[in-house]
Amino acid sequence: MSMTDLLNAEDIKKAVGAFSATDSFDHKKFFQMVGLKKKSADDVKKVFHILDKDKSGFIEEDELGFILKGFSPDARDLSAKETKTLMAAGDKDGDGKIGVDEFSTLVAES
Protein backbone atom coordinates (compact mmCIF):
# COMPACT_ATOMS: atom_id res chain seq x y z
CA MET A 1 0.00 0.00 0.00
CA SER A 2 1.25 3.46 -0.84
CA MET A 3 0.36 6.85 0.55
CA THR A 4 -1.54 7.75 -2.63
CA ASP A 5 -3.84 4.76 -2.06
CA LEU A 6 -5.08 6.63 1.02
CA LEU A 7 -4.53 10.32 0.24
CA ASN A 8 -4.94 12.48 -2.87
CA ALA A 9 -1.63 12.86 -4.73
CA GLU A 10 -2.32 16.52 -5.54
CA ASP A 11 -3.06 17.29 -1.87
CA ILE A 12 0.22 15.62 -0.88
CA LYS A 13 2.14 17.62 -3.49
CA LYS A 14 0.64 20.92 -2.31
CA ALA A 15 1.26 20.15 1.37
CA VAL A 16 4.87 19.08 0.83
CA GLY A 17 5.46 22.20 -1.29
CA ALA A 18 3.95 24.45 1.37
CA PHE A 19 6.61 23.35 3.85
CA SER A 20 9.62 23.21 1.55
CA ALA A 21 11.54 25.83 3.51
CA THR A 22 13.69 24.64 6.41
CA ASP A 23 12.03 25.07 9.81
CA SER A 24 8.64 25.83 8.23
CA PHE A 25 7.00 22.48 9.05
CA ASP A 26 3.75 22.64 11.02
CA HIS A 27 2.32 19.16 11.56
CA LYS A 28 -1.18 20.44 12.28
CA LYS A 29 -1.41 22.34 8.99
CA PHE A 30 0.35 19.56 7.10
CA PHE A 31 -2.02 16.82 8.31
CA GLN A 32 -4.99 19.02 7.37
CA MET A 33 -3.57 19.85 3.93
CA VAL A 34 -2.89 16.22 2.98
CA GLY A 35 -6.43 15.30 4.04
CA LEU A 36 -5.34 13.04 6.89
CA LYS A 37 -7.51 14.87 9.40
CA LYS A 38 -10.65 13.85 7.46
CA LYS A 39 -9.70 10.16 7.23
CA SER A 40 -11.15 7.34 9.29
CA ALA A 41 -9.25 6.05 12.32
CA ASP A 42 -8.44 2.93 10.30
CA ASP A 43 -6.92 4.95 7.44
CA VAL A 44 -4.86 7.03 9.89
CA LYS A 45 -3.44 3.76 11.27
CA LYS A 46 -2.62 2.63 7.72
CA VAL A 47 -0.71 5.89 7.16
CA PHE A 48 1.17 5.27 10.43
CA HIS A 49 2.25 1.83 9.23
CA ILE A 50 3.53 3.32 5.95
CA LEU A 51 5.59 5.86 7.93
CA ASP A 52 6.93 3.16 10.29
CA LYS A 53 9.71 2.22 7.89
CA ASP A 54 11.37 -0.40 10.09
CA LYS A 55 7.99 -1.96 11.03
CA SER A 56 8.82 -1.75 14.74
CA GLY A 57 5.33 -0.55 15.64
CA PHE A 58 6.74 2.88 16.48
CA ILE A 59 8.00 5.94 14.63
CA GLU A 60 11.35 6.67 16.23
CA GLU A 61 13.10 10.02 16.05
CA ASP A 62 15.30 9.03 13.10
CA GLU A 63 12.21 7.94 11.10
CA LEU A 64 10.40 11.11 12.13
CA GLY A 65 13.05 13.22 10.42
CA PHE A 66 12.07 11.59 7.13
CA ILE A 67 8.29 11.88 7.64
CA LEU A 68 7.76 14.12 4.60
CA LYS A 69 9.52 11.54 2.41
CA GLY A 70 6.91 9.03 3.58
CA PHE A 71 4.32 11.19 1.83
CA SER A 72 6.47 12.12 -1.20
CA PRO A 73 9.89 10.57 -1.98
CA ASP A 74 11.33 13.84 -3.29
CA ALA A 75 10.36 15.84 -0.18
CA ARG A 76 12.97 17.31 2.15
CA ASP A 77 14.05 15.94 5.52
CA LEU A 78 12.88 17.75 8.64
CA SER A 79 15.47 19.82 10.46
CA ALA A 80 16.61 18.66 13.90
CA LYS A 81 14.49 21.41 15.45
CA GLU A 82 11.37 20.36 13.50
CA THR A 83 11.93 16.70 14.36
CA LYS A 84 12.25 17.46 18.08
CA THR A 85 9.13 19.67 18.00
CA LEU A 86 7.12 16.95 16.26
CA MET A 87 8.39 14.28 18.67
CA ALA A 88 7.46 16.45 21.64
CA ALA A 89 3.94 16.94 20.23
CA GLY A 90 3.41 13.26 19.47
CA ASP A 91 5.26 11.35 22.18
CA LYS A 92 2.61 11.46 24.91
CA ASP A 93 4.19 8.85 27.20
CA GLY A 94 7.75 10.20 26.96
CA ASP A 95 9.37 6.99 25.67
CA GLY A 96 11.14 8.74 22.79
CA LYS A 97 8.98 7.26 20.03
CA ILE A 98 5.47 7.61 18.65
CA GLY A 99 3.15 4.62 18.71
CA VAL A 100 0.06 4.15 16.56
CA ASP A 101 -2.32 5.50 19.21
CA GLU A 102 -0.09 8.52 19.81
CA PHE A 103 0.03 9.16 16.06
CA SER A 104 -3.77 8.93 15.85
CA THR A 105 -4.06 11.45 18.69
CA LEU A 106 -1.51 13.74 17.01
CA VAL A 107 -3.59 13.74 13.82
CA ALA A 108 -6.89 14.19 15.68
CA GLU A 109 -5.51 17.22 17.55
CA SER A 110 -4.52 18.87 14.26
- Residue set of the binding site for Ca(2+): 52, 54, 56, 58, 63, 91, 93, 95, 97, 102
Pick from 67, 50, 65: which is nearest to 16 by CA?
Answer: 67
Distances 19 to 12, 56, 79, 103 between C-alpha atoms, Å: 11, 27, 12, 20
Distance of CA 92 to the CA centre of its chain: 15
**Residue 97 φ/ψ, nearest 5 degrees:** -150, 165
Write out the binding residues: 52, 54, 56, 58, 63, 91, 93, 95, 97, 102
